[in-house]
Chains A and B, each alone.
Chain A
Amino acid sequence: MSNIDPILLLSAIIIVSTPILLAAIGELVVERAGVLNLGVEGMMITGAVCGFVVATLSGSPWLGFAGAALGGALLSMIFGILTQLFLSNQVATGLALTLFGLGLSALLGQGYIGVKGPAVPDLYLPLLRDIPVLGPILFRHDIIVYLALAIVLGVWIFLNRTRAGRVLRAVGENHDAAHALGYKVVRVRLMAIAFGGACAGLGGAYLSLVRVPQWTEGMTAGAGWIALAIVVFASWRPGRLVLGAWLFGGATALQLALQASGGVQIPIEYLQMAPYLATILVLVILRAGRAPGSLGRPFHASS
């Protein structure tokens, strides 16, 4: 244990949790609007490849992130149109979206395997970065880390402090009532789905442009499913979402650091389990909140 530098560890936790956090906050908004989109993994990986391709072609990582958000949002619109306009089953369509995204990304990324993308510079925060302890932990990251946290804060304000946010929640809680009040249920949901897609895309691009950073097929390796779990874990609340993502990222980073420190006495199998175990445990302790009332139910104005 003594070999682990806590500053480096905490800094690693923030980086490890960022892609999951981005994907999860998007899905949270989607689910608060009453839609269950299981295609997060597919949208993430599509974002990862779109981001990488755009960044490589343009030489700008920022354009890459924009491309990733756009790619994720476009893909989510397939899901949106199928489930909202054609009333297809959300679970089946979401799963199909994941499969489609995995295949599509492999196809799009064919010429980019092994290619090196442009580097994403750390955001240079003078003074703040030099604060002892806190500086290296909090203020020496790339801008996307802060963007992710800003999005979470923005979502919290939107859901709790704005009229539009309350409309979205009304749509998610009881779409028939919201419809009777004159709100455009389908339109609100489509917008939420697009937002979810864009966030998942950003999360994927964070993997391909910052964390790995390169394109390889299947590189999200289940991060989308973790994001889905964390939304439930957070009882659909943005604040807890951050906690969940950090907890999961923390357990992941800690188990690697423990192994690397060379002084572990804990069997590695337990360390491997730790992220999942910790997440489940806290979930039980906090007790899952109530899901949005209309979550996953199809809506048609005539019913």
Chain B
Amino acid sequence: MTFKTVLLGATAAMGLATGAMAQDDKTKVGFIYVGPIGDLGWSYQHDQGRLAVEEEFGDRVETVYVESVPEGPDAERVLTQMALQGADMIFTTSFGFMEATMNAAQKFPDVKFEHATGYQRADNVSTYSARFYEGRAVQGLIAGEMTESNIIGYIGSYPIPEVIRGINAAYLQAKKVNPEVEFRVVWAYTWFDPAKEAEAAKALIDAGADVILQHTDSTAPQAAAQEAGDVITFGQASDMFDYAPKPRVSSIIDNWNQYYIDRVGAVMDGSWESQDVWGGIDSGMVEIGEITEAVPAEVKEAALELKDKIAAGELHPFTGPINKQDGSAWLAEGETADDETLAGMNFYVEGIKGEIPQ
């Protein structure tokens, strides 16, 4: 992987170099992705955002990207390369790029960085994320209603707040509609590894799960569920509609297009400032993919109603009373979670079994 990245980095650098020679008044925007753009999930959606930027600004921008960048020191090298070759702005689209982004930002104060799902900012580093947990709540409702074995499998990537938040949000809604429900979490320790994800899905199905939620980026769990038969899944990051109407019964779609267009526009007209954006269903950043006919009409209706309530701000997925896993009180009756707690969430809510790896 390392070598491939170096090569890709070099290729990207060459691309940038040619661009720099061609014209200098273009705004150059770089993107680094944690997986291949062909994952049809997370990285694919970010690349759709990049394409939207190109379409919006045409000749006035030039974009470059490097895919499958490992989270770690390699990322910093790729970022340095991009910055040296004249990028005006760089989107780093995975949580694990945080340190690399901060380091590169320090070295290149004139380059604007946008880091997805992180929490560290600087004068030239913004962070942005989406309230995926709002979508998870909708999934949880469908999952709780649809399960017959009362075992819901959840493929986690890494035990970071974003993922834990999703598990909690889904569990709370599932539990509300089906008190018998039990969550089984498998940590895959990868964002993208189709073979591992397929195995994780199969292990969960073998353990009796008939609903699989995934927080990894490939469609492999969908394929595994399809093969197993009576199992339903949800598209992650991207619609994954190829697996509809079943196993895929709905999805969370990350839509970065407008945000990317806005931010690139801000760099162009000089109004860019460091900020922290956390968009939910209402902002369009989180979309709920079509709920298919495999879901009974009344469940679909309830799911859409929940979605509308969340979008309208009438309902927060984390509304008390909620206890933490150890039984201690977290939110009192009617109290909603504040963003700071959500951003750093490192605990399960009451009822989820198992431990979060530290």
Known: A212-B198, A218-B68. A260 touches B203 (CB 8 A): yes
Q: List 21 A-B contacts (CB under 8 A).
A: A3-B207, A3-B208, A95-B3, A98-B3, A103-B4, A106-B36, A114-B242, A207-B195, A211-B195, A212-B220, A216-B194, A216-B220, A219-B195, A221-B193, A221-B195, A221-B196, A260-B153, A260-B203, A260-B204, A262-B182, A268-B355
Instruction: Check B203 against A259 for contact (C-beta < 8 Å).
Output: yes
Q: Which of A63-71, A164-172, A237-245, A250-258 contacts B (4 or more CB under 8 A)?
A: A250-258
Determine whether B184 belongs to the interface, using a CB cutoff of 8 Å to chain A. yes
Determine whether B58 belongs to the interface, using a CB cutoff of 8 Å to chain A. no
Instruction: Check B193 against A4 for contact (C-beta < 8 Å).
Output: no
Instruction: Check A12 against B206 for contact (C-beta < 8 Å).
Output: yes
Instruction: Give B79 Cβ to nearest chain A Cβ, in Å.
Output: 21
Given the complex of chains A and B, what is the CA–CA distance between A302 and B194 in angstroms? 48
Of A218, A219, A220, A262, the contact of B354 (CB 8 Å cutoff) = A262
Known: A12-B203, A256-B186, A260-B203. A216 touches B38 (CB 8 A): yes
The total number of A-B Cβ pairs within 8 Å is 119
Of B40, B193, B206, B227, the contact of A257 (CB 8 Å cutoff) = B206
Interfacial chain A residues near B40, Cβ < 8 Å: 113-114, 216
- Of all chain B residues, the one with the shortest Cβ separation from A7 is B206
Determine whether B7 belongs to the interface, using a CB cutoff of 8 Å to chain A. yes
Given the complex of chains A and B, what is the CA–CA distance between A260 and B206 in angstroms? 8
Interfacial chain B residues near A223, Cβ < 8 Å: 195
- Of all chain B residues, the one with the shortest Cβ separation from A214 is B223
Interface of chain A residues 203 through 228 with chain B (CB within 8 A) = 207, 211-214, 216-223
Determine whether A116 belongs to the interface, using a CB cutoff of 8 Å to chain B. yes
Given the complex of chains A and B, what is the CA–CA distance between A257 and B205 in angstroms? 10
Determine whether B353 belongs to the interface, using a CB cutoff of 8 Å to chain A. yes
Instruction: Give B213 Cβ to nearest chain A Cβ, in Å.
Output: 13
Determine whether B313 belongs to the interface, using a CB cutoff of 8 Å to chain A. no
Given the complex of chains A and B, what is the CA–CA distance between A202 and B161 in angstroms? 40
Instruction: Check B3 against A99 for contact (C-beta < 8 Å).
Output: yes
User: Interface residues of B toward A: which range?
Assistant: 35 or more
For the complex with contacts A219-B194, A264-B354, 6 further pairs of A-B residues with Cβ separation under 8 Å are: A109-B38, A213-B227, A216-B40, A256-B202, A260-B153, A260-B209
**Chain B interface (Cβ < 8 Å from any Cβ of A):** 1, 3-4, 7, 36, 38-40, 68, 151, 153, 182, 184-187, 189-190, 192-196, 198-200, 202-204, 206-209, 218-220, 223, 227, 242, 353-355, 357
Interfacial chain B residues near A222, Cβ < 8 Å: 1
Instruction: Give B129 Cβ to nearest chain A Cβ, in Å.
Output: 25
Instruction: Give B217 Cβ to nearest chain A Cβ, in Å.
Output: 10
Interfacial chain A residues near B38, Cβ < 8 Å: 106, 109-110, 113-114, 216-217
Given the complex of chains A and B, what is the CA–CA distance between A213 and B194 in angstroms? 9
Interfacial chain A residues near B193, Cβ < 8 Å: 219, 221
Interfacial chain A residues near B353, Cβ < 8 Å: 262-263
Instruction: Check A257 against B354 for contact (C-beta < 8 Å).
Output: no
**Chain A interface (Cβ < 8 Å from any Cβ of B):** 3-5, 8-9, 12, 16, 95, 98-99, 102-103, 106, 109-110, 113-114, 116, 207, 211-214, 216-223, 252-253, 256-257, 259-264, 267-269, 272
Of B185, B203, B207, B223, the contact of A212 (CB 8 Å cutoff) = B223
- Of all chain A residues, the one with the shortest Cβ separation from B218 is A216
Instruction: Check B39 against A216 for contact (C-beta < 8 Å).
Output: yes
Given the complex of chains A and B, what is the CA–CA distance between A46 and B218 in angstroms? 19
Instruction: Check A99 against B194 for contact (C-beta < 8 Å).
Output: no
Interfacial chain B residues near A110, Cβ < 8 Å: 38
Given the complex of chains A and B, what is the CA–CA distance between A3 and B153 in angstroms? 14
Given the complex of chains A and B, what is the CA–CA distance between A262 and B154 in angstroms? 11
Instruction: Give A127 Cβ to nearest chain B Cβ, in Å.
Output: 25
Instruction: Check B194 against A214 for contact (C-beta < 8 Å).
Output: yes
Known: A114-B40, A260-B186. A252 touches B199 (CB 8 A): yes
Instruction: Give B204 Cβ to nearest chain A Cβ, in Å.
Output: 5
Instruction: Check A217 against B68 for contact (C-beta < 8 Å).
Output: yes
Instruction: Give A176 Cβ to nearest chain B Cβ, in Å.
Output: 34
- Of all chain B residues, the one with the shortest Cβ separation from A222 is B1
Interfacial chain B residues near A212, Cβ < 8 Å: 194-195, 198, 220, 223
Interfacial chain A residues near B68, Cβ < 8 Å: 217-218
Given the complex of chains A and B, what is the CA–CA distance between A268 and B186 in angstroms? 9
Instruction: Check A213 against B223 for contact (C-beta < 8 Å).
Output: yes
Given the complex of chains A and B, what is the CA–CA distance between A217 and B219 in angstroms? 12
Instruction: Give A67 Cβ to nearest chain B Cβ, in Å.
Output: 20
Instruction: Give B46 Cβ to nearest chain A Cβ, in Å.
Output: 15
Interfacial chain B residues near A269, Cβ < 8 Å: 357
- Of all chain A residues, the one with the shortest Cβ separation from B242 is A114
Instruction: Give B172 Cβ to nearest chain A Cβ, in Å.
Output: 18
